[in-house]
With several copies, the nearest count.
Chain A
Amino acid sequence: MHERKDLTIFPERVEPLLSAINKQGKNTRQMPAPFDVYPLDDIDKDIQNEDLPDLPDVSEVETVRHFTRLSRLNYGIDHGIYPLGSCTMKYNPKICEEIAGRVKDIHPADTYAMTDILKILMELSKDLEEICGMDASTLWGAAGAHGELTGMLIIKKALEKKGENRSTVLIPDTAHGTNPASCTIAGFNPVQIPSGPRGYLEASTIKDYLDDDVAALMITNPNTLGIFEQEIAHIAELLHNNGSYLYMDGANLNAILGTSRPGDMGADCMHLNLHKTFASPHGGGGPGSGPVLVKRHLIPYLPLPWIVADEKDSYTLKWDSTSSIGTIHSGMGNLAVLIKTLAYILSLGPEGIKDVSHVATLNANYIKTRLSKSFDIPYTTPTLHEFVLTDKRQQANGVTTMDIAKALIGFGIHPPTIYFPLVVNNAIMIEPTETEPLEELKRFADIMETIATLAETSPEIFKDMPFVSPVGRVDEVWAARHLILTWDMGESNKEAAVSKQ
């Protein structure tokens, strides 16, 4: 039999580092050269680089092959289900990519071209506000966490305006790590509060924490257990009575799109993750986009610039305001993502938007129903677009959440989010989204069942998983211990497993 190292030969093979392909003189690219070259002796020699910039010297063919072959070591949404919980890995429509490509040659200071862009941004703002039941918005947040920070700064500013110096932000234990981190950067003190035994925050719990230092509650709804925060209206009332704000992390909006609106729940401020709910691709880590929406009383604090109407149907940017928190980005946020989002919203229309939450919830519950026979489900409360399993039953045979994830890779499926939320031990958090075909849901459920069976019959094989993947199980501890972060460090570190191939 052939060995594991053979497995990646066709069509994938271990790809050498660019630095290993580098050889002087191979790059013969002709660059645009419209101008006669000046001597540039006005620039001090001590500041000029006497050497060439230190970059690999490779041919175009090698560039193309290198990155193409690398791409093939990745799993994308066009491969199949990508059930990362709270990440909303839905299909990224090709038409939205195509349309966003049309803004590429525009400079934001080309005011004439920007007229059309601002009109589109205004329409997007209005649509997002309508969908969320909020009054106004800013589109400049570059990702969810950037939106959170912006939102918390808005709240801080509003408090300052009121002359209040509240510093506590309450955050349920199911929250994403960005929530407390964003609070800290905004100058708040995040305090973790327990979500109840039923998986949602109870009004009675929050009562215990409310005092005059509480600036806000930061909550995700539905939360990362996929459970709707059923007491949210009551909680909002308690907060408001206490002079505190309700901040909503909209990362899980997909569950309730067109079905329920954060604004109606009492949210004062919230952000969206357009790269989740609104089908913009994740790009292997970004760019995302994190618009922030507010109720009327927080409008003065929105970051700059503001898009304001001048004449009918024409907009300009307003750059000064003494109330605003200020500028949060040097350009226009992740503008191309905003274009994709409007194209997506218009493509769907009002009914299509509502269908998203319906089918996202339907699909998640299908898988949950199937898997509840083989896996431990820690909460009995009904869930919406995602749900959490644990490895409790498999642990009996020594098979862990990590093993289950790696086994899935071997079956050609991207694993769910694992070990999150922290409130569940060894969580496996599954979100299929509305764009998974029924056949694919079945395939996933079948494979999970197979894994559950294998965990009983042959638990010993899990340690070697994933079997069939471009690399075997990756040693993350080794990485952290050696910290090889560049080619150069790889070269100089004798211990490094840097094979030129």
Chain B
Amino acid sequence: MSFIPLSREERKEILDAIGVEDEDELFETIPPHLRYKESLNIQGPLDEETLRARFQFRPHKISFLGGGIYNHHIPAVVDAIASRQEFYTAYTPYQPEISQGTLQAIFEYQSMMASLTKMYASNASMYDGATALAEATLMAISAKGLKRVVITRATNPAYRKVINTYLQFNRSVEILEVPFNIISGQVDLDALNDMVDSDTALFIQQPNFFGIIEPLDKIAQTAAKAGFWGIVITEMVSLGLLKPPGAFGPDVVVGDAQSFGNPQNAGGPLLGVLCTTKASIRRMPGRIVGLTRDSSGKKAFCLTLATREQHIRRGKATSNICSNQGLCALRAAIYLSAVGPRGLKKIAAQCASGARYLMKLMKEKGIDVIFNGPVFNEFVVRMEDARIKALEEAGLVPGIRIENLYPEIPGGQLLTVTEMNTKKDVECMKERI
């Protein structure tokens, strides 16, 4: 089924108005040998019911999956509002008079991200946490001409890979990993201390990929030596429990806020976050909304700081990003407004408690919990392939395999618990193990 609203007669009417014989004539500027004469080898047209029947999916009912993408409660209001055509069909708000809805909502998203992280400002979103981190490294490099990017090995491997992709042709910058302590799962503070100097851009994930909470207060002292440093957060719900990262003085806080009102969506859209300091604001990539006034002096909003961006600066822009994840940021804003301060704190406590409960049950079953550092809502255990397979066959997904990502952790399996798991889920995992 097509969505063309013109009847055959109307198409003819237009041809007449233009003064053209037939529609093919419209394409006369396309050299004949470049015109495609065949019929495309694709299926369709399909009616809506046939389409509905064709897209059927079967997610597992019980799973303990996280590792950067999380299954959190989404209040019904989020979908109800984000599905309003005024929001989801609109373009980037270049024309402020007719886009105040998007603009104010994004301004509020920025405000809430800044308050939560206690950073000076947030941009209007990035593609995901990994590209936000990659852009932050570019920011660091361009700001200070730094020579080294140092990142904790316990940072989400996908994030580290994306940095590598972005920087692979930049021969003047070296990327180094800080090892983790194999007992605690936290960053090796001594190694860190050795690797950081004023030529370094440093990035630390908190909680780290193993779910372990890093001693940011201690790290901050070393980090202060770096030319530029940032905290990476992939599980933003942890902000319900942990001190705002801004308190430790980083230049940027980057990460992913998919956890805030955005579904897992089989891997995307996610929601890249980039918050920074007053000093760095003009080097920030991406869009930002500012408060201003209209011709009659009333409060109004518009995109601002455009002189950093590609559509003005072109090849000299701070970034190439144009479309971002606007609707995901809107969802995050609605989510945060809906759950509020106590709600976020409660969810965080539930996540942390659920993880501890599962950890307790795993230990009771003799499963080896690998690190002894404090966790937020994820932890690493040792599990043989056979056991994983057996659990999967019992209809349960027992976390993410990480031994291939960390050969130093043979049998490594990352288990995640959120408020969407139930006590029964957790107990079921114990029983079926």
A68 in contact with B114 given A95-B51, A181-B313, A346-B54 (CB within 8 Å): no
B63 touches A23 (CB 8 A): no
A56-B340, A95-B48, A177-B312 given; A350·B40 CB < 8 A: yes
Minimum Cβ distance to chain B for residue A94 (Å) = 4
* Smallest Cβ-Cβ distance to B124: which chain A residue: A285
Query: Would A178 and B46 count as touching, CB distance under 8 A?
Result: no
Q: How far is the CB of B416 from chain A (nearest CB, A)?
A: 9
A260–B128 CB distance below 8 A: no
B102, CB-defined interface residue at 8 Å: yes
Q: Are A485 and B121 in contact (CB under 8 A)?
A: yes
B65 in contact with A110 (CB, 8 Å): yes
Shortest distance in angstroms between A220's beta carbon and chain B's nearest beta carbon? Answer: 14
Least CB distance from B266 to A in Å reads 4
Q: How far apart are the CA atoms of A476 and B303 in the complex, in Å?
A: 8
Q: CB distance B101 to A71 under 8 Å?
A: yes
Distance from A291 Cβ to chain B, minimum over Cβ atoms (Å) = 13
Least CB distance from A348 to B in Å reads 5
Interface residues of A in 286-306 (CB under 8 A from B): 286-288, 303-304
The answer, yes or no, to whether B430 is at the interface (CB within 8 Å) is: no
Interface pair A284/B92, CB less than 8 Å apart: yes
Closest to B289 in A: A485
Q: Which of A79, A260, A362 contacts B14 (CB 8 A)?
A: A362
Contact of B110 among A273, A436, A486 (CB under 8 A): A486
For B108, list chain A residues within 8 Å (CB). 17-19, 487
* Complex contact B6–A75 (CB within 8 A): no
Binds A, one of B144-152, B234-242, B363-371: B234-242
B337 touches A66 (CB 8 A): yes
Give chain B nearest CB distance to A441 CB in angstroms. 8
Instruction: Determine if B91 and A25 form an interchain contact, defined as CB atoms under 8 angstroms apart.
Output: no
Kindly report which residue of chain A lies nearest to residue B54, judged by CB atoms.
Answer: A346
Interface window among B21-29, B196-204, B222-230: B21-29
A29 in complex: contacting residue of B63, B312, B321, B338, CB < 8 Å: B338
**A26 contacts the other chain (CB 8 A):** yes
Instruction: Tell me if A196 counts as interface (CB < 8 A to partner B).
Output: no
Say which one of A237-245, A393-401, A453-461, A462-470 lies at the interface with B: A462-470
Q: Is the CB of A37 within 8 A of B304?
A: no
| Inter-chain contact B352/A107, CB cutoff 8 Å | no
B58 touches A112 (CB 8 A): yes
The answer on a CB contact under 8 Å between A99 and B51 is yes
Q: Is the CB of A326 within 8 A of B288?
A: no
Q: Are A33 and B316 within 8 A (Cβ)?
A: no
Q: Are B92 and A285 in contact (CB under 8 A)?
A: yes
Question: Within 8 Å CB of B33, what residues of A?
Answer: 233
Residues of chain B within 8 A of A63, CB atoms compared: 77, 334, 337-338
Q: Mark A235-266, 1 if CB is under 8 A from B, else 0.
A: 00000000000000000000010111100110
Q: B129 CB to closest chain A CB, in angstroms?
A: 6
> A109 to chain B: which residues have CB within 8 Å?
65, 67, 69, 397, 400
Known: A97-B80, A112-B392. A55 touches B243 (CB 8 A): no
Could you tell me which residues of chain A, from 354 to 406, have a CB within 8 Å of some CB in chain B? 354-359, 361-363, 365-366, 369-370, 381-382, 384, 405-406
Asked if B110 and A485 make an inter-chain contact with CB atoms under 8 angstroms apart, the answer reads yes
**A98→B285 CA distance, assembly (Å):** 33
Do the beta carbons of B341 and A52 come within 8 Å of each other?
yes
Pairwise interchain contact A36-B45, C-beta atoms closer than 8 A: no
Q: Cα distance A82–B86 when bound, in Å?
A: 12
Say whether B383 faces chain A, with CB atoms less than 8 Å apart.
no
Interface size class of chain A, counting residues whose CB lies under 8 Å from the partner chain: 35 or more
Distance A93 CA – B51 CA, assembled complex (angstroms): 12
Contact of B44 with A352 in the complex, beta carbons under 8 Å:
yes
Neighbour of A485 across the interface among B68, B89, B290, B334, CB < 8 A? B290
Q: Are A325 and B102 in contact (CB under 8 A)?
A: no
- Which residues of A have CB within 8 Å of B138? 185
Interface check B192, CB cutoff 8 A: no
A203 contacts chain B at the CB level, 8 A cutoff: no
Separation of A93 and B73 alpha carbons in the complex (Å)? 16
Any B CB within 8 A of the CB of A214: no
**Given A31-B346, A330-B158 in contact, is the A258-B29 Cβ separation under 8 Å?**
no
Instruction: Choose from A73, A89, A143 the contact partner of B127 (Cβ within 8 Å).
Output: A143
- What's the Cα separation between A336 and B328 when bound, in Å? 12
Q: A228 in the interface, Cβ–Cβ < 8 Å? A: yes
B47 x A30 contact (CB < 8 A): yes
Contact across chains for B165 and A435 when beta carbons are under 8 A apart:
no
Give the distance to chain B from A364, nearest Cβ to Cβ, in Å.
9
Within 8 A of A (CB), among B78-103: 79-81, 83-102
Partner of A471, one of B10, B300, B320: B300
Give CA–CA (A127, B44) in the complex, Å. 11
Which residues on the B side are within 8 Å of A105 (C-beta)? 59, 71, 263-264
Instruction: Verify if B279 is at the interface (C-beta below 8 Å from A).
Output: no
- Contact (Cβ within 8 A) A415 B304: no
With beta carbons under 8 angstroms apart, the residue of B5, B47, B68 that contacts A331 is B68
* Cα separation A62 to B3 with both chains bound (whole Å): 10
B287 interface neighbour in A27, A285, A479, Cβ under 8 Å: A285
Within the complex, the shortest CB–CB distance from B122 to chain A, in Å, comes to: 8
- Bound CA–CA A31/B85 (angstroms): 24
B69 and A107 form a contact (CB under 8 A): yes
Please determine whether A346 and B353 come into contact, CB atoms closer than 8 angstroms.
no
Q: Which residues of B contact A355 (CB under 8 A)?
A: 2, 4
Asked if A438 contacts B13 (CB within 8 A), the reply is: yes
Q: Which residues of chain A (48-66) have a CB below 8 Å from chain B? A: 48-49, 52-64, 66
Contact B55 A120 (CB under 8 A): yes
Is B49 located at the chain interface by the 8 A CB criterion? yes
List the 6 closest pairs (A to B, CB-CB), nearest first: A332-B267, A285-B326, A349-B44, A25-B7, A283-B327, A59-B5
A-B contact pairs, 28 of them (CB 8 A): A27-B341, A30-B46, A34-B354, A37-B349, A58-B337, A62-B5, A70-B100, A72-B101, A74-B101, A97-B76, A114-B266, A130-B41, A177-B312, A184-B317, A227-B29, A256-B27, A259-B35, A273-B323, A285-B102, A304-B161, A346-B54, A362-B23, A382-B29, A466-B97, A470-B98, A472-B97, A474-B301, A490-B291
Task: Apart from A26-B6, A356-B2, list 12 A-B contacts with CB within 8 A.
Answer: A4-B296, A26-B5, A30-B47, A55-B115, A97-B88, A98-B79, A142-B128, A177-B313, A230-B30, A286-B323, A485-B121, A499-B299
